[in-house]
Amino acid sequence: MAKILIVDDNTAIRDVIKIHLMMAGHEVIEAENGRQGVEMATEHQPDLVILDVMMPEMDGMEACSQIRTDPACAAVYVIMLSARGETSDKVDGLNTGADAYLTKPFEPDELIAQVNAGLRTAEDRRQAMYDLLTGLFNRRAFDDLMHRELSLRDRHGHGLSMVMIDLDHFKAVNDTYGHHAGDAVLRDLADILREVCRPSDLPCRWGGEEFACLLPQTDLENALKVGERLRAAIEAHDFPEVGKVTASLGISQAGPEENEESFCKRADEALYRAKEGGRNRIEAATSA
């Protein structure tokens, strides 16, 4: 069962679409304008969005653009549905970030076929972007997000920081308790990241027992505060079968015009110093 968000200011049209989607076995959530639709997309992270174009407060074009810039909705498939059927309208919708564009009045069978195709595409995107064990962004997606955030930093001048996290003595966990217990520890750590990090933060599984988190609009001082909350939460957690596990963290703030490689390298070097300094601690990177 997929989760589908319908965004349309016309209640009758929403009801018709909802009936057909529910008959197909899907969970449906609704919004009556573009602004509400963007908020609900961020909150509920649907698999697919059906989006009207002409709406009050925020039209479908702007709503689609905002949904597309939200990392939480990176895999979502967007179908625009509008009475405006000129070629230029369709081109505008697709250029804004929609995956498909249907005109009203629509045939329910065609809409359901588009939904089914869109859900397959959304699933392919998820598998390409997310780590299967933890559900966090994978390294490939993280690299793309880092490139985007560095570009935003260059344009707007706001801070951007990174936390790198490595579980202490994780090999001993696998050797002593088995890989199934180690996997459970990694899943719990991912849950801690989701709980402690802010909605704007971008956590990922970097590889093995190493994780990373981008902190947009965050300077080094505030990144250290986030890092300490993470370190303390990991230390306080009782991991299944294993008990207590700690982590070491390295933190860097992106310097002016710094590239991805240097940004990551400085965080990794700080992480290494945290390990060498006794583990279960945080080190800040030297300035770029």
d(C-alpha 219, C-alpha 216), whole Å: 9
Token pair 């049209």 in the structure block, residue: 13
CA 214 vs. chain centroid, Å, equals 11
Of 157, 127, 162, the C-alpha closest to 145 is 162
- Token output for 33: 């304008």
Question: Where do the domains of the chain lie, and which CATH numbers do they carry?
Answer: 3-129 (3.40.50.2300), 139-284 (3.30.70.270)
Largest Cα–Cα distance of the chain, in whole Å?
A: 66
For residues 225 and 23, give the distance between their C-alpha atoms in angstroms, rounded to a whole number.
48
pLDDT digits over 52-101, tens only? Answer: 999 988 999 999 999 998 888 989 999 999 888 788 888 999 999 999 99
Whole-model pTM over 0.75 = yes
Cα distance between residue 198 and residue 139, in whole Å: 20
Q: Burial, 62: exposed, middle or buried (Cβ in 10 Å; 0-12, 13-18, 19+)?
A: middle
pLDDT tens-digit map of 4-24: 999 999 999 999 999 999 999
Catalytic residues: 209
Give percent of the chain with pLDDT exceeding 90: 85
